[in-house]
Amino acid sequence: MTTVSRTALGTALLTMLGAVAMPAHGEPLPLWEFGFGVGGLFFNDYRGANTSHVYPAPVPYFIYRGTFLRADRDGLHGRLFNRRYLELEISANATAPVFSRNSAIRAGMPNLEPTIELGPALLWHLWRRSDERLRLDVHLPLREAFTVTSRPTSVGADFAPSLNLDYLGAGHLSGWNFGVMAGPLYAQRRYNEYFYGVAPAFATATRPAYDASGGYAGSQLLFATSKRFTNYWVGAYVRHDWLAGAVFDGSPLVQQHSYWAGGVGFVWMIRASSTMVDGHD
């Protein structure tokens, strides 16, 4: 795996590993802080594949709590709306390379390049408890996927609306963040064709030609937890995917319709700003 794709996977891992830290009302926090660590992901080579791998990845950690711009584990937020209810952010995701020689169903087909997905996302704060330890958000990211090569190429866009429930623990669970995310996925025809299409030139007796279409691309359910200690941060997540009913369900490259994936991360905190701001400002 290239350095670029490892970094992209590390960033995606950090995004999935936990909810935004939700300090008690009025608790001062550093204007910025950064760290660096390591993590590992376990997931299928692509959604629906019956082959999987464990990927070690660097985990960059950076938080900035500015007045109009914020960066945290959920992405880059522009304070362009009434931030009590709406925020605009930059969403990111990544996929790993798939080498066809290691996949019986893809034998003889071109490899799948690693991709990075970037795009805007609207974050709607649907409900918050009075102490803000429990909140319900609607997340609406629209991302364009690009291959991570010397000449990046667009492979289409996806839309992943989700309902996010986040809880900041109290008592014995003080400092721990817990998150649940669930929602469907939709993708353009080009995106689905990149992963699930079989050109006539690569058709075989057991792998017929297939032309993917755009539309519903399955659903996901994700559980995550994380905690920021004085000098380090830890997090873990598990995700379940359902592909039954997806528009590419008939592709011979889809070998299973339900499976689990997960990841863990550990970050050493390197430095933090001496300037303090209100965590909810």
134 CB neighbour count, 10 Å cutoff: 15
What does each of the 281 residues of the chain score in pLDDT, given as a tens digit? 555 455 555 555 556 554 444 444 446 888 999 899 898 889 899 999 999 888 888 888 888 887 777 776 556 666 666 567 888 888 888 888 899 998 999 999 999 998 989 899 998 999 999 888 999 999 999 999 999 887 899 999 999 999 999 999 999 999 899 999 999 999 999 999 999 999 999 999 999 999 999 999 999 999 999 998 989 999 899 999 999 999 999 999 999 999 999 999 899 999 999 999 876 54
List pLDDT tens digits, range 187-212. 999 999 999 999 999 999 999 999 99
List C-alpha distances in Å: 159 to 136, 163, 191: 20, 13, 11
- Give me the residue spans of the domains in the chain: 3-278
Exposed / middle / buried, residue 88 (Cβ in 10 Å: 0-12, 13-18, 19+): middle
| 8-state DSSP, 198 | B
* Bridge partners of residue 70, in order along the sequence: 65, 77
- Phi/psi at 131 (5° precision): -90, 0
Report the distance separating Cα 91 and Cα 143, nearest Å.
7
Q: Is 166 helix (H, G, I), strand (E, B) or coil?
A: strand
Within its chain, how far is the Cα of 248 from the centroid? 21
Report the distance separating Cα 23 and Cα 234, nearest Å.
17
The pLDDT assigned to 68 comes to 72
Indicate the pTM of the whole model: 0.86
Amino acid 104 reads A
The first and second tokens of residue 193, run together, are 């064709």
Report the distance separating Cα 101 and Cα 51, nearest Å.
12
Of 12, 63, 32, 52, which is closest to residue 265 (Cα–Cα)? 12
Of 192, 236, 186, 193, which is closest to residue 215 (Cα–Cα)? 186
139 CB neighbour count, 10 Å cutoff: 19
The pLDDT assigned to 76 comes to 64
Q: Is 2 helix (H, G, I), strand (E, B) or coil?
A: coil
| 8-state DSSP, 173 | G
List C-alpha distances in Å: 162 to 239, 240, 249: 13, 14, 22
Q: What is the mean pLDDT of the chain?
A: 86
Of 236, 146, 140, 235, which is closest to residue 185 (Cα–Cα)? 140
Rg (CA), the chain: 20
Pseudo-torsion of CA 232, 261, 194, 13, nearest 10°?
-10
The pLDDT assigned to 25 comes to 45
Q: Which CATH number fits domain 3-278: 2.60.40, 2.40.230, 1.10.357, 1.10.3470?
A: 2.40.230
